[in-house]
């Protein structure tokens, strides 16, 4: 039991670390952006949104007041929200701030209640919630936090349980949302192409044949891909 | 309606199709808590409790291009500017993906707000 309670200073550092992590993963998240519009800006939007939040909370003086930090964060996220994902982050944080705004410190139960409130706010903000998106991940994470809080009122353990459940739910989202599964196929096929090219290169080197017999690795890969092109087309169309 | 010509004939797509398509797209946009009536007909229908999926969506076309009007109700505590940008992006993408048509204009009217 290392951190049974989260203080304002700790929460401030958590938000700043999250902003740095978002910035570091910006390009990777942009590449994963396929829903609702595959415009490849989710990573950038979330990074900019969280940066605005981190900048705002850095000037907050209430080291022991988590309520003040989270209210500042919610206001900053509202103003600095960018794109669909930024709006969702702002709604979620606002929901959490409704629970924590009058508190000085947050224990496990308070964190779990805040996650539930954030999730409910996010679901209320859309007429038809789509499962398989961040809403599903937030819902399952909040449920796991509540279950953990009933066993132990340790804020770190509650957050840990929420994160673990979020990872598990994230891995199941392609089964909930067809467009993710299709994108997953494309990513796998892309990886498959790369792997097949590397195998061709290794095969060519291993056989130590002359260029006249097998052709260069690029030609060998091209002949292999021409046979697989029809299979790829069928996968993409479906 | 929109008329698409091809060597085999014409494809006539009604405005109602676009209304329902857009209504479905907007209903899953974040920050949109509901749709407000766009004209008197929709207002009267809403009064009698008959709200269809295309409530709040008005589509006009000149045969080749679409002009869309959306009347939305937003949730309290959201960035309206960003919500509207996302809605417009999604509406354009939905129509282009379904029919290949480019939308001439998407006008969004924020007609109300819903508190918690």
Full DSSP string of A56-71 = HHTT---TT-HHHHHH
CB proximity B86 to A under 8 Å:
yes
- Whether A37 sits inside 8 A of B28 (CB atoms) is no
User: Among A173, A192, A210, which residue terminates a domain?
Assistant: A173
Query: How far, in Å, CA of A42 to CA of A46, rounded?
Result: 6
- A125-146 pLDDT, tens digit each: 888 888 888 888 889 999 999 9
- Whether B27 sits inside 8 A of A128 (CB atoms) is yes
Domain residue limits at A226: 181-237
**Confidence class for position A189, pLDDT limits 50, 70, 90:** low
Any domain includes A137: yes
Q: Which residues of chain B neighbour A79 with C-beta distances below 8 Å? A: 79
- B70-79 pLDDT, tens digit each: 999 998 888 9
ipTM confidence: 0.79
Q: DSSP letter at A133?
A: S
**Confidence class for position B63, pLDDT limits 50, 70, 90:** confident
What domains can you pick out in chain B, each with its CATH number? 15-114 (3.30.70.1350)
User: Among A173, A201, A224, which residue terminates a domain?
Assistant: A173
Q: Tell how strand B103-114 and strand B66-75 pair up.
A: parallel
Residues 6+ apart with CB under 8 A from A180: A34, A35, A132, A173, A174
User: Among A152, A173, A194, which residue terminates a domain?
Assistant: A173
Q: List, as ranges, residues 26-65 from B with C-beta within 8 Å of A.
A: 26-35
Any domain includes A155: yes
User: Comparing C-alpha atoms, which of B69, B62, B74 is closest to residue B91?
Assistant: B69
Any domain includes A3: no
Q: Answer for the pair A99, A110: CB distance below 8 angstroms, yes or no.
A: yes
| A160 and A89 inside one domain | yes
CA distances B81 to A173, B8, B78, Å, are: 29, 44, 9
Kindly tell me if the per-residue pLDDT of A187 is higher than 80. Answer: no
| A214 and A121 inside one domain | no
Any domain includes A125: yes
- Whether B33 sits inside 8 A of A128 (CB atoms) is no
Kindly tell me if the per-residue pLDDT of A114 is higher than 90. Answer: yes
What is the least distance, in Å, from the CA of A94 to any CA of chain B?
8
Any domain includes A225: yes
- In chain B, how long is the greatest CA-to-CA distance? 54
What is the least distance, in Å, from the CA of B29 to any CA of chain A?
6
- Averaged pLDDT of chain A: 79
């Amino acid at each position: 039991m290392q951190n049974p309670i989260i203080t304002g200073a700790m929460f401030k550092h958590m938000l700043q670390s999250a902003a740095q992590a978002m910035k570091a993963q910006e390009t990777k998240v942009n590449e994963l952006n396929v829903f609702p519009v595959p415009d490849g800006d989710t990573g950038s939007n979330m990074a900019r949104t969280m940066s605005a939040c981190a900048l705002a909370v850095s000037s907050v003086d209430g080291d022991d007041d988590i309520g003040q930090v989270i209210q500042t964060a919610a206001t900053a996220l509202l103003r600095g929200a960018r794109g669909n994902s930024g709006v969702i982050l702002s709604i979620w944080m606002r929901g959490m701030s409704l629970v924590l705004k009058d508190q000085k410190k947050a224990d496990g139960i308070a964190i779990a209640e805040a996650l539930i409130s954030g999730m409910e706010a996010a679901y209320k903000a859309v007429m038809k919630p789509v499962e398989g998106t961040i809403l599903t991940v937030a819902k399952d994470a909040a449920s796991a936090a509540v279950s953990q809080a009933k066993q132990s009122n340790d804020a770190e353990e509650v957050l840990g349980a929420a994160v673990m459940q979020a990872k598990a739910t994230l891995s199941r989202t392609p089964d909930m949302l067809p467009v993710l599964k299709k994108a997953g196929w494309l990513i796998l096929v892309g990886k498959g192409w790369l792997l097949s090219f590397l195998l061709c290169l290794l095969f060519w080197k291993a056989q130590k044949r002359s260029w006249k017999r097998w052709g260069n690795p690029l030609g060998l890969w091209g002949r292999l891909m021409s046979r697989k092109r029809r299979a790829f087309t069928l996968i993409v169309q479906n | 309606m929109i008329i698409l010509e091809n060597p085999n004939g014409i494809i006539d797509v009604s405005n109602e199709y676009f209304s329902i398509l857009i209504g479905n797209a907007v209903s899953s946009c974040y920050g949109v808590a509901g749709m407000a009536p766009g004209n008197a007909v929709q207002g009267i229908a809403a009064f009698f409790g008959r709200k269809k999926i295309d409530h709040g969506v008005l589509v006009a076309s000149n045969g080749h291009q679409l002009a869309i009007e959306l009347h939305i109700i937003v949730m309290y505590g959201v960035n309206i500017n960003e919500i509207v940008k996302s809605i417009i992006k999604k509406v354009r993408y939905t129509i282009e993906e379904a029919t290949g048509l480019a939308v001439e204009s998407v006008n969004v009217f924020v007609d109300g707000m819903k508190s918690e």
